[in-house]
Amino acid sequence: MEKLIDEFEGDQRELIHILHEIQKKFGYIPAQAVSRISKQLKISESEIFGVLTFYKAFSLKPRGEHLITVCMGTACHVRGAPMILDEFKRKLGIESGETTEDNQFTLETVNCVGACALGPIAKADGEYHGQLKTREVDKIIKELMNKKRNSSK
């Protein structure tokens, strides 16, 4: 982490880039990274936390290997997104914003993914699944589990 932060040579304009790189490496932004960035860029920790909490792309706690995001925007909501979310919660045994105990899955909601015509929609590891039905939730979870097994061979 030190090497990654030092790469940017104290340029405050690189804050978001640094945060993205750390998030990519660790899956979240560890507290010690905030402290180190603060010293390196001469930006207060509270200012960095302001950026981290403003952008939904950043997480302050570890995320699972697979990220599932359910759109709760108006178009998705009226087409059944709450039922889709409930099914993911039931199948994974977690609430939105949580990670499974085995660190395999993190479930989140967003206000809009910008694909209203496909609602209800969920993103699983960046792949869009539109016009979802609750019966398809289990298939998505199984595909993600197989993806891990196949990629570790």
Specify the fold of 66-151.
Glutaredoxin (3.40.30)
DSSP state of 124: E
pLDDT in the model for residue 7: 72
Per-residue pLDDT, 40: 87
Going from the C-alpha of 11 to that of each of 17, 28, 135, the distances in angstroms are 11, 22, 49
Please give the Cα distance from 114 to 73 (Å, whole number): 9
- Residues carrying CATH 3.40.30.10, the chain: 66-151
Tokens 């920790």 sit on residue: 45
Please report the pLDDT score of residue 27 as a whole number.
Answer: 82
- Both tokens of residue 150? 């196949």
> pLDDT digit of tens for each residue in the chain (153 aa)?
667 676 766 678 889 999 999 988 888 899 999 999 999 889 999 999 999 989 878 889 888 999 999 999 999 999 999 999 999 999 999 999 999 999 999 999 999 999 999 999 999 999 999 999 999 999 999 999 998 655 544
Contact by Cβ (8 Å): 99, 63:
yes
| pLDDT of amino acid 57 | 81
Question: Which pLDDT belongs to residue 137?
Answer: 98
| Predicted pLDDT of residue 150 | 55
Question: What pLDDT was estimated at residue 46?
Answer: 95
How many Å apart are CA 40 and CA 44, to the nearest integer?
Answer: 10
